[in-house]
């Protein structure tokens, strides 16, 4: 791995990680993209930034993003998504259904796997494709 901001793990290394470990890093990657997008769009107070971030990183919102992305995924990406979606989580937030939480975990697993594989451009492209209309000023 070259750097923590530009990891380049091998597919074997990434596949050896649990789906929930991939979702753990993917959650952070997704939230960083959301926060960056909101800050770059400008004109918001700290409280508004926080509110808008929470609204976009919650399981129901991530489930919508996952549904938008699914048709754009490659076979390998679909496998990562399904691996996360089918993982067994122990706690589901009160504001999400089991199905929403499963789709959100799939999205996070996908983003985590791509990030660790060093495919940051693909992560950004998928994020842009799925969230473009949500950030219109």
Residue 137's pLDDT is what? 33
Given a cut of 70, whether residue 24 has pLDDT beyond it is: yes
Percent pLDDT > 70 in the chain is 95
Residue 21's pLDDT is what? 96
Residue 136's pLDDT is what? 46
pLDDT tens readout for residues 67-98: 999 999 999 999 999 999 999 877 787 888 99
**pTM of the shown model:** 0.91
Given a cut of 90, whether residue 25 has pLDDT beyond it is: yes
Q: Which residues are known catalytic residues? A: 27
Q: Which whole number is the average pLDDT over 44-52?
A: 86
Percent pLDDT > 90 in the chain is 72
CB-neighbour burial class of residue 56 (10 A; exposed 0-12, middle 13-18, buried 19+): buried
């Amino acid at each position: 791995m070259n750097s923590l901001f530009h990891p380049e793990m091998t597919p074997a290394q990434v596949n050896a990680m649990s789906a929930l470990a991939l979702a753990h890093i993917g959650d952070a990657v997704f939230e960083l993209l959301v926060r960056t997008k909101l800050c770059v769009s400008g004109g918001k107070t700290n409280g508004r930034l926080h509110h808008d971030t929470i609204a976009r990183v919650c399981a129901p919102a991530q489930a919508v993003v996952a549904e938008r992305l699914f048709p754009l995924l490659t076979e390998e990406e679909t496998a990562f998504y399904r691996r996360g979606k089918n993982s067994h989580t122990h706690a589901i937030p009160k504001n999400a259904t089991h199905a929403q939480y499963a789709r959100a975990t799939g999205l996070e697993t996908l983003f985590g796997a791509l990030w660790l594989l060093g495919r940051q451009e693909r992560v950004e492209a998928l994020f842009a494709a799925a969230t473009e209309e949500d950030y219109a000023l």
